[in-house]
Amino acid sequence: MKVLILHQHFKTPAGGGAIRSYYLAKALVHSGMEVVVITAHGHSYKKENVAGIEVHYLKVPYHNSFGFFRRSLSFIRFVLKSVKKAGEFKSARLCYAISVPLTVGLAARWIKKRYNIPYVFEVGDLWPDAPVQMGVVKGPFLKKLLYDLEHNTYQGAQSIVALSPAIRSAIEKKAPGKRIDLVPNMADTEFFHKATRDPRMEEKYQVKGKFVVSYIGAIGLANGLDYLIACAKASLHAGLPIHFIICGDGALKGHVAKEAKRLGLENLTLTGFTHRDGVNEIMNVTDAALISYLPVPILETGSPNKFFDALAAGKLVVVNFGGWIKKEIEENECGIHVDPRQPGDLIKKLEPFMSNRPLLERYQAHARSLAERKYSRKSLSVRFAHIITTAIPG
């Protein structure tokens, strides 16, 4: 039984980055399905077998630093090339289309129409609500075009997979009566572990005797990392032993580096993008993992990988936004919410954990427990495979 997966940003553990789709594909392979992935990269076309997954890399360059026009062009090119490539797999029983971008939904609809392959649509972020609320998409014509695309994509899907309870609730209002399954991002409890600090890592990152707050993820407009810069500045002026680590890449990486240098933030390290082993090194010396977004309501609905990695690694979770994640960490006593408009609030709320090691360790243990109990990759993979099996017609 063949299943086609469309994901423009498919990653593998070797390359680093978000690898949810890799694990979803592996779950289907493990359940006995033949899995074909159509994805993209910036080089010439290539085909390879990755852990039993047949992966086709189309030449469609994309980078987080791209502006609106270049991103849009990349999305459209992937739609056209992926639909054409899908014609080689007409025997597929189902197409699993992963957004973002939302335009993947257009590809899935064309594949359904041309090759009679039904699709299940995965929603990781609410588009076009997110760019509209952030002011990136402004014109009424473009807004209508994108909202029509969203509506038609939902209506044409066999079913929908939502990555968070908030996303599921939003789609229930937009597509009443449509089957919607919840499969959040996964905590890789087999790769990440709650571990004692390694002196070699403390030396590498120069954090011996420091309380380490790490941010691991995209450095883009939506992440609002000027907040972290302000927190580092406030902490430095207060003379507190807090060290901040930013690990990632994105359109605003240069801006963050420039601001840190301008302000003389010796308590902030910007490492750049790294593979999973590098992330694990940073997690080893991390006390608290920060997840940051601009104060835009729609951004509270997402399901960021860094949240689940932090849980799996057993770290205190710090968020500067509301929504379902805030509720989750507060109910499970594994994290804290800080005011995104008041950098001093982060320092104030971290002080009890800095002065009371047992309190910190209790919250960290709760984080790991939540990962194992509710978000483990193993259990969610089984759930996902069952959803796909159920969605296949006949």
Q: Tell the burial category of 378 from Cβ atoms under 10 Å away from its Cβ (0-12, 13-18, 19+).
A: middle
Q: 73-117, pLDDT tens digit by residue?
A: 999 999 999 999 999 999 999 999 999 899 999 999 999 999 999
Domain 199-374 listed as CATH 3.40.50.920 = no
* Class for the domain spanning 2-186+376-391: alpha beta
Q: Which pLDDT value is given to residue 183?
A: 98
Query: To 5 degrees, how large is the angle CA 57–CA 221–CA 308?
Result: 65
Domain coordinates of the chain in residue numbers?
2-186+376-391, 199-374
Euclidean distance between CA atoms 334 and 369, whole angstroms: 9
Rounded alpha-carbon distances, angstroms, from residue 50 to 16, 88, 90: 14, 19, 22
Euclidean distance between CA atoms 79 and 287, whole angstroms: 42
User: What is the bridge-based pairing of β-strands 316-319 and 288-291?
Assistant: parallel
Euclidean distance between CA atoms 199 and 287, whole angstroms: 15
Q: Which pLDDT value is given to residue 300?
A: 98
Q: 236-291, pLDDT tens digit by residue?
A: 999 999 999 999 999 999 999 999 999 999 999 999 889 999 999 999 999 999 99
- Helix 140-156 with 165-174: angle, nearest 10 deg: 100
Low-confidence ranges of the chain (pLDDT < 70): none
DSSP state of 223: G
Does the pTM exceed 0.85? yes
User: CA nearest 239: which of 204, 266, 220?
Assistant: 266
Do 2-186+376-391 and 199-374 have matching folds?
yes
User: CA nearest 304: which of 212, 388, 223?
Assistant: 223
For residue 184, what are its two tokens?
A: 């959040």
